[in-house]
Amino acid sequence: MEKFFSDKEKGFKIKAIRTDGGGEYSSGEFKRELKRSGIEWQVTMPYTPQENGVSENSNRVPVERANALIQHAGAPKPYWAEALQATVDLKNVSWTKGTHGIDATPHQLCFGWKPDIKHLRVWGCTAYCFIHPAKRPDKKSDLTAEKMVFVGYTQITKQYRLYNPAARRIVISRDVVFHQDTLYFYPTD
């Protein structure tokens, strides 16, 4: 928990935290850490989300955007978490009205440099993931790529998150050919 309340990474001091009083915030360890860090704990009244409008809006907008991605792609509901993560990633590289009248992306405000957006792709499109020769049993006759669905971005490197429905698993790869005009769930062939 010490890393969470640390002001060393970005140089900002957390002055207060406002929560809804849920059980996840009532542990003795949480309260002690807040007190040790000099952070005021503000608890809203039950059933009054309007008391924390910024937080409620910050939660509502990504959920609505994730639902839009799901509907556009025709994806089934189990893809919802991947769509939600992709919307958060997109929000972080999208222009917004920042603090003190500065227009920038959240990424730029946090890290001080503009993010590269050349890697952005259409969520839910068909993607062909290269199969490394070492993973092909018969090097000459086996397929060189697998058809998958693009579901998002990785947080650490410039790689993509793909879902392989046949194997029922997420695959991380940078060697991908995208068919952005073909949504995986609405095949055009």
Residue 8 has pLDDT above 60, yes or no: no
- Partners of 145 in the β-ladder: 130
Residue 62 lies in a domain: no
Residue 4 has pLDDT above 80, yes or no: no
Q: What is the mean pLDDT of residues 155-184?
A: 92
Domain membership of residue 23 as a residue range? 1-43
Amino acid found at 77: K
| pLDDT of the residue at 149 | 97
Q: What is the 3-state secondary structure (H, E, C) of 19-54?
A: ECCCHHHCCHHHHHHHHHHCCEEEECCCCCHHHHHH
Name the DSSP letter for residue 151. E
Alpha carbon separation from 103 to 10, 161, 172, 187 (Å, rounded)? 19, 29, 33, 39
Residue 66 lies in a domain: no
Overall domain count for the chain? 2
Q: Kind and range of the H or E element at 130?
A: strand 125-130
Per residue in 92-113, pLDDT (tens digit) is 888 777 656 677 777 787 778 8
How many other C-beta atoms lie within 10 A of the C-beta of residue 35?
11
- In the structure, what pLDDT confidence band is assigned to residue 21 with cuts at 50, 70 and 90? confident
- In the structure, what pLDDT confidence band is assigned to residue 157 with cuts at 50, 70 and 90? confident
Residue 176 lies in a domain: yes
Residues for the chain: how many in total?
189
Residue 31 lies in a domain: yes
